[in-house]
A and B are shown apart, each in its own frame.
Chain A
Amino acid sequence: MATELKLTAKDFKSDQEVRWCPGCGDYAILAAVQSFMPDLGLEREKIVFVSGIGCAARFPYYMQTYGMHSIHGRAPAIATGLAVSRPDLSVWVVSGDGDALSIGGNHLIHALRRNVNIKILMLNNQIYGLTKGQYSPTSEQGKVTGSTPMGSVDYPFNPLSLALGAEATFVARAMDIDKPGLTDVLRRAAKHKGAAFVEIYQNCNIYNDGAFDFVREEKENRLYIEHGKPAGDTGITHDETDFATAFALSRINYAQHGVVPLGVFRDVPRDSYDELVQAQLDNAKGDGDLQALVGSGDTWSIS
């Protein structure tokens, strides 16, 4: 674009009072996203945030962009309709672990496999916050919560492995309090053509405080991965374009390996869904003549 946009983080703060619990990791994520937004180089009206239900889903209300706070789990579906019919927009989905992986799991995997041009930020706090503390699909087995007094028996999802299995073309992980790392991942996600899946570790200080202390607090356990470089002591040389490498890195976890990989796991170029749809529209035969269509085929005249 010809004119330089001079927007700042402040321009992306809406007039709505932020109502997360004091100390919630969402504040840091909101601040990081608002700070990053000017880097998109887009006018505010070209940006849309879509969310489902949950604490994270309040996100759009706080962004001075277009926004929709929709229904539980459906944000990727709604965003798909918007992104496909309006390729001129930058569409972001903000979700949580329950919203994205439980009630909305189906929409998530299909948006990823279609490579719809949406950026999905999944704020993972491994708990249901808004409904006051039940276990989520990412809670560790044995989690004692309001709905699991004897501990949960469910095995959790690994969100990144799931996204990779769903043919996601961009998969990354960041952390609420790691602003530089999060900003870097946001920048890469925004640049990526098609669906980007970003898991953001987020501390719920009310219902699951300290869930990520092993990497939030203990910085030595953070393993920042970079394309073309060895991933710590794992013996893996990172290649964002190689599925097996990305998948192997997605399996590395603190409990077994003592480190948590952060950064971009996978980034491969692939035509986005809206581009493919648009190409079919552009290449379609016919001139859209409705009068000709209704009068086509076998017709007869009555006088």
Chain B
Amino acid sequence: MAKPVEQLESVVIRFAGDSGDGMQLTGGRFTSETALTGNDLATFPDFPAEIRAPAGSLPGVSGFQLHFADHDILTPGDRPDVLVVMNPAALKTNLADLPKGGTLILDTDAFTDRNLKKAGYESNPIEDGSLADYQVHAVQLTGMTVGALKEIEGVTAREAERAKNMFALGLMSWLYGRPTESTTTYIEKKFAKRPEIAEANLKAFNTGYAFGETSEGFAVQYEVKPAKLTPGIYRQITGNMALSWGLLAASKLSQLPLFLGAYPITPASSILEELSKHKSFGVRTFQAEDEIAAAGAALGAAFGGALGVTTSAGPGVVLKSETIGLAIALELPLVVIDVQRAGPSTGMPTKPEQGDLLMVLYGRNGESPVPVLAAGTPGDCFYAAIEAARIAVTYRTPVYLLSDAYLANGTEPWLVPDIASLEPIEVEFAVANGEEFLPYKRDPQTLARPWAIPGTPGLEHRIGGLEKANETGSISYDPENHDLMTQLRAQKVAGIQVGAQPVDHQEGADVLVLSWGGTFGPVHAGVRRVRANGGKVAHAHLRWINPFPANLGDVLKSYDRVLIPEMNLGQLRQLIRARYLVDAVGYNRVTGKPFKSGEICDAVEALL
């Protein structure tokens, strides 16, 4: 007999287990099933930098949080409604986030004396009453999985045990009425070379599903209706995937071959991996010997007329600074992508932060202006990449595009773009016209110098990092010329057309929240929460940080108070205060986790 179905508007689920338990895979599959249901969703994979920390240890815990709803949502959720834990360490590190009364599903078989000890438990929390405030479903996940797979030939006990995450996925899929076909197809495809493993995983998945249907422990099934989003075809996308595809789009729109120079680094490596799959788009990916060479090769390719791109995270970007400086002097297009992570130094490689803003703006010798923009959501990375390329090519300048570890790995539903409707990127290579060629004679509108690529007859010329004489590009130590060139380089970047700053204004609001980059989701969700509580607040989210939108000063001055939430110690705030003499206040936290909408709401309400 079918169990009763209860309607929910939104649910936040967190899967947590050992790094080897396949939590990212489990979360990813549940996300795919959820996306196909038509819910709006946002995810937050949270994993350690260690590939396999000691099994069962606290540092080895890997988590995946998913928020899905029947309406438009902006974040993976502040706290889970449901916590699925695969071992005591996962319980220990995640339980504090589960509100009282929340649902807790745990694998009792993993709560052995040994594992309890590793997690620092004196007694078994399942038995000692310490979980009394939660709705606990203690399930023999491992035991039932191994039992179900006994019959399958060629599957070792260890392999059977490892399929327990599929059991958990099956159970959760039943609990929330998720469609199972896509996971079935996925498993068959993933383990095509080992049919017995495919069979084992499918069996575990289906057994988990059936367990939910029949077990008396689960009295109701839940349903979250599809969300009403802009009509169209959707898919889910991570920030790094969107960014990679945005670069492909920029290559297509500019008709320039894409050259990516990169050195593997968390959390940027998946851009290199993704683009290396798309050689049919004419993409050349170069895994360089180091970060410096990655940037250098991209610049060399740009000299030759390619769309040169280099990707990294903060610890790699610092090494690229001399090349960015050269690109500024050469005035060649180059897209530099910094997927920010917590610093300083190696910091916390898998955790997001916004600590690199001042570095990318100022971390070079001399007066060396660079345009800087930041993506706001995973899907927005696609459009931000196109915009970065457009500005780089149009103004012949290196451009910094900032993303972060949260956007890089987080997913959201993404309205599949109509490529034909994207605006082309105009590129004009210089050709000889009978007059003397002046490599540093500028376009009067953009102040860009000619892009004269090798192979063009009659335009042979030399460029370099030494100061250039205006127009001729010859080496010059002339004092007035250096002053002029410094001014011209600054004016070129300051004059980049970035469009007016949009503001989500609310009638009667005298507080403006000004945010930038990857915090858009939680900050805007916080703003909505303030409004739901009856408060009045406006929100502006910056895409361009250099140059700032021309109207930003007017926007700031039309509010009595300005709050700037940042996952750093106030880098944008410092810029805003210096530039506009506005007494902005900050909300600054650097926990390595994205903001919660609740804390933003509190910070705003404290100003109302």
Q: Does B455 contact A (CB under 8 A)?
A: yes
Q: How distant is the Cα of A106 from the Cα of B330 in the complex, in angstroms? A: 24
Known: A45-B456, A300-B233. A82 touches B419 (CB 8 A): no
Q: Is the CB of A106 within 8 A of B286?
A: no
Q: Is B584 an interface residue (CB 8 A)?
A: no
Query: Cβ of B257 < 8 Å from any Cβ of A?
Result: yes
- Is B304 close to A, CB under 8 A? yes
Q: How far is the CB of A80 from chain B (nearest CB, A)?
A: 5
Q: Which residue of A lies closest to B295 (CB)?
A: A77
**CA A80 to CA B298, docked complex, whole Å:** 9
User: What residues of A have a CB within 8 angstroms of the CB of B96 in the complex?
Assistant: none
CB of B217 within 8 A of chain A?
Answer: no
The digit string for A105-131, where 1 denotes a CB below 8 A from any CB of B, is 011011000000000000000000000
A103: min CB distance to chain B, Å: 10
A45 and B279 contacting across the interface, CB-CB below 8 Å? no
Whether B289 and A66, one on each chain, are in contact in the complex, defined by CB atoms closer than 8 angstroms, is no
A65 at the interface (CB under 8 A from B): yes
User: CB within 8 Å of B: which of A54-78?
Assistant: 60-61, 63-71, 74, 77-78
Check if A188 is an interface residue, CB within 8 A of chain B.
Answer: no
Judged by a CB distance under 8 angstroms, whether A147 is at the interface is no
The answer on a CB contact under 8 Å between B464 and A69 is yes
Contact B301 A82, beta carbon cutoff 8 Å:
yes
Instruction: Count chain A CB atoms within 10 A of each CB in B290, B462, B474 and give the residue with the most.
Output: B462
Instruction: Please determine whether B281 and A288 come into contact, CB atoms closer than 8 angstroms.
Output: yes
Q: Which of B469-510 contact A (CB under 8 A)?
A: 474-475
C-alpha gap A89/B460 in the complex (Å)? 13
Cα A301 to Cα B236 in complex, Å, equals 12
A45 to B437, CA, bound (A): 14
**Measured between C-beta atoms, what is the minimum distance from B554 to chain A in Å?**
37
Q: Is the CB of B420 within 8 A of A293?
A: no
Looking at B30-38, B519-527, B541-549, the stretch in contact with chain A turns out to be: B30-38
Tell me the residues in window 264-301 of chain A with beta carbons closer than 8 Å to chain B beta carbons: 277, 280-281, 284-288, 290-291, 293-301
Are B323 and A295 neighbours in the complex by a CB distance under 8 Å? no
**Size bin of chain B's contact surface:** 35 or more
Q: Is A2 an interface residue (CB 8 A)?
A: no
Instruction: Let me know if B286 and A81 touch, CB within 8 A.
Output: yes
Q: Is A3 an interface residue (CB 8 A)?
A: no
- If over half of A's interface residues share one DSSP class (helix, strand or loop), that class is named, otherwise mixed; here it is mixed
How close is A283's CB to chain B, nearest CB, in angstroms?
8
Does B308 belong to the interface (CB within 8 Å)? Answer: yes
Judging by beta carbons under 8 Å apart, are A298 and B300 in contact?
no
Check A14 for interface membership: any CB of B closer than 8 A. Answer: yes
Q: Are A61 and B475 in contact (CB-based, < 8 A)? A: yes
Asked if residues B416 and A45 are in contact (CB atoms below 8 Å), the reply is no
With A290-B248, A299-B233 as known contacts, state yes or no: A66 contacts B454, CB within 8 Å.
yes
Residue from A48, A82, A107, A287 within 8 A of B289 (CB atoms): A107
A-B pairs under 8 A by CB, number: 200
Q: Are A107 and B226 in contact (CB under 8 A)?
A: no
**B239 smallest CB distance to A (angstroms):** 15
In the complex, whether A1 has a CB less than 8 A from a CB of chain B is: no
- The reply on A84 being an interface residue by CB < 8 A is yes
B249 sits at the interface (CB 8 A): yes
Q: Which residues 440-478 in B have Cβ within 8 Å of A in the complex?
A: 454-466, 474-475
The interface residues of chain B lying within 8 Å CB-to-CB of A10 are: none
B297 at interface, CB cutoff 8 A: yes
**Total residues of chain A contacting the partner, CB 8 A:** 58
Complex CA distance for A296 and B288, rounded to whole angstroms: 30
Closest B residue to A80 using CB positions:
B297
Q: How far is the CA of A293 from the CA of B417 in the complex (A)?
A: 11
Q: Do A290 and B279 contact each other (CB < 8 Å), given the known contacts A82-B300, A295-B235?
A: no
B278 touches A293 (CB 8 A): yes
- In whole Å, how far is A236's beta carbon from the nearest beta carbon of chain B? 33
**Separation of A287 and B252 alpha carbons in the complex (Å):** 13
A174 to B293, CA, bound (A): 28
- Can you name the residue of chain B whose Cβ is closest to the Cβ of A113? B289
B182 within 8 A of A: yes
- Residues from 284 to 342 in B contacting A, C-beta threshold 8 Å: 284, 286, 288-290, 292-293, 296-306, 308, 322-323, 325-326, 330
Check if B235 sits within 8 Å of A106, measured CB to CB: no
Docked Cα-Cα span, A294 to B38, in Å, equals 18
Let me know if A61 and B464 touch, CB within 8 A: yes
> Complex: how many Å from CA A107 to CA B291?
11
Note all chain B residues with C-beta closer than 8 A to A298.
Answer: 32, 35-36, 182, 235-236
**Chain A positions near chain B (C-beta within 8 angstroms):** 14, 16, 43-48, 50, 60-61, 63-71, 74, 77-86, 88-89, 106-107, 109-110, 277, 280-281, 284-288, 290-291, 293-303
For the complex of A and B, list the 8 residue pairs with the smallest distance between their C-beta atoms, beginning with the closest.
A69-B464, A81-B300, A81-B297, A77-B296, A286-B280, A284-B279, A77-B293, A78-B300
24 A-B pairs (CB sep. < 8 Å): A14-B462, A16-B474, A46-B454, A69-B462, A71-B296, A71-B325, A74-B292, A77-B289, A77-B300, A81-B296, A84-B297, A88-B455, A109-B289, A110-B289, A110-B293, A277-B284, A280-B279, A288-B282, A293-B278, A294-B417, A299-B235, A300-B235, A302-B38, A302-B231
